[in-house]
Amino acid sequence: MTISTQNILELDTPTLEEITRYYRDHISPDLVRLLRLTGFGALEMSAEGCWVVDQNGRRYLDFSGGYGVFSLGHRHPKVVAAVKDQLDKIALSSRVFLNPLQAKLAHQLAKVCPEGLEYSFFSNSGTEAIEASLKMARLATGRRAFVSTHGSYHGKTMGSLSVSGREKYKEPFEPLIKPFQAVPFGDLEALDAALTEDVAAFLLEPIQGEGGIHVAADEYLRGVRDLCTQRGVLWIADEVQCGLCRSGRWFAVDWAGVSPDIMTLAKSLGGGVMPIGATVFNSQAGKAYKGRPLLHTSTFGGNPLACRAALASLEVMENENLAENACLSGQVLKEGLKRLATSYPDLVRDVRGRGLMLGMEFHEDKYGGSLIFEMVKRDVIAVYTLNQPRVIRFEPPLNVGREEIETALNALQESLAETRRRLGKSE
Ligand SMILES: *Cc1c(COP(=O)(O)O)cnc(C)c1O
């Protein structure tokens, strides 16, 4: 096959037909069908703030926010400038010399993370942050088993998948890492029974994202802390999606005033510009790992570009009061969603969430599917949660404006009306 410059240049102005064909022939025919169904054939060409622009210049309001990646919006100017500057210095690490940006980032994370979480291991994604936490927990405790919650999502590499709570994604890959047990989310008694002598760690998302936006009660989080301490089990709080200001505090565990032993971060850590994952841990969790730092490594983990983006992001989160913004805007959005829920009780079962991590649950999956479709038609992006398709999530940038919230709510109202007209029982 010959690759002419002509072909490569054509990628700059692709047509929908061409891209669909490349997807079908070289990525996955089913994926392109799925994406064309939800986004009906828009190509993402550029993005800024809360907006994504397609090949025809049509602008979409991004209220799914990359499942939590775009807490600062798309291409926040401070993060883009930091990364551009870093490109002219050193991009990837030699891995031989000391890496000042990695050290600074670990220092900054220790400042904002809950008490005791003072050490960081850097990787490139959420699932890698979980993998590191699992190995660390086995190493620190000398125990083998893991416990997590029903509906939980911790990533799709073998280890993370093993401790996730949805059979559909696990079953084709058995045997996975064992022993493993899932307990009901929010149920301390069940956890009490599950934390036997062989358990190394309990994994919990303080706000379940893919499970359908379930907020752990503060009492439950405090109970989890106590139980894990009593049993010598490490508590891994997976804040890959809910962490870093989205819940209205720096971290969702801050609402309960508790510190996990290990906390995993990723999605928004790179400011929506660079991919980066972090496993932040206390000295008890890291006691064996800290002395053997080459047991678990990553070539690209903690690279200067990603760390520079993360440092800029933490600065923006602090200077632009994104946690407080998430609280205030979250309240406005949630009230709007609740108002609509009251008008459409035949479609909507519940509205819940914290800060700007909100979900709307429908009585049936088909309503959720229709809503997403109708919303995109009206230029607003919203998506359902992976493990619970009857829940649509709203995770806009934390600096979203009032006007944009109104725009999204108006589109939602029209979409609900259209869904009722097409699929609903008569009023
Ligand atoms: C997205 C997510 C992950 C996995 O992150 P990837 O970067 O996709 O590997 C893990 N845990 C939670 C809670 C997530 O939302």
CATH number where 135 lies: 3.40.640.10
Residues 118 and 237 occupy one common structural domain? yes
Q: If you average pLDDT over residues 235-252, what whole number do you get?
A: 98
Q: If you average pLDDT over residues 267-279, what whole number do you get?
A: 98
pLDDT at site 34: 80
Question: Within a 10 A sphere around the Cβ of 333, how many other Cβ atoms?
Answer: 26
Residues 86 and 222 occupy one common structural domain? yes
Residues 335 and 256 occupy one common structural domain? no
Ligand 1 probe mutation, 64, 152, 239, 267, most atoms within 8 A of CB = 267
Q: Does residue 24 fall inside a structural domain?
A: no
Cα 158 to ligand 1 centroid, rounded to whole Å: 13
DSSP state of 91: -
Q: What is the pLDDT of residues 383-413, one digit of tens each?
A: 888 888 899 999 999 999 999 999 999 999 9
Residues 314 and 326 occupy one common structural domain? no
- CB 394 within 8 Å of CB 337: yes
Of 288, 319, 350, which residue constitutes the final position of a domain? 319
Could you tell me the CATH number of the domain that includes residue 342?
3.90.1150.10
Q: What tokens does 382 get?
A: 């919203």
Output phi, psi for 94, to 5 deg: -70, -25
Of 288, 304, 319, which residue constitutes the final position of a domain? 319
Number of domains, the chain:
2
Residues 332 and 314 occupy one common structural domain? no
d(CA 200, CA 179) in angstroms, rounded, equals: 10
Q: What is the pLDDT of residues 73-118, one digit of tens each?
A: 999 999 999 999 999 999 999 999 999 999 999 999 999 999 999 9
In 3D, which of 306, 252, 271, 330 has the Cα closest to residue 72? 271
In this predicted structure, the answer to whether residue 6 has a pLDDT above a threshold of 70 is: no
Q: If you average pLDDT over residues 239-262, what whole number do you get?
A: 98
Is 0.75 surpassed by the pTM of this model?
A: yes
Residues 265 and 124 occupy one common structural domain? yes
Residues 254 and 335 occupy one common structural domain? no
Q: Does residue 9 fall inside a structural domain?
A: no
Output phi, psi for 93, to 5 deg: -80, 145
3-state DSSP call for residue 279? strand
- CB 286 within 8 Å of CB 135: no
Is beta strand 234-238 parallel, antiparallel or unpaired with respect to 199-204?
Answer: parallel
**Which residues, 6+ apart, have CB-to-CB distance to 4 below 8 Å?**
none
Q: Does residue 18 fall inside a structural domain?
A: no
The CA–CA distances, whole Å, from 34 to 28, 37, 63, 351, 392 equal 10, 5, 19, 26, 17
Q: What tokens does 204 get?
A: 């919990």
Of 319, 336, 354, which residue constitutes the final position of a domain? 319
Residues 345 and 257 occupy one common structural domain? no
Residues 249 and 380 occupy one common structural domain? no
Residues 267 and 325 occupy one common structural domain? no
Cα 380 to ligand 1 centroid, rounded to whole Å: 23
Cα 309 to ligand 1 centroid, rounded to whole Å: 19
Atom of ligand 1 nearest to the CA of 130: 10
Residues 308 and 333 occupy one common structural domain? no
Rg (CA), the chain: 22
| Residue 263 structural domain | 77-319
Q: Does residue 84 fall inside a structural domain?
A: yes
Residues 304 and 408 occupy one common structural domain? no
Q: What tokens does 1 get?
A: 């096959």
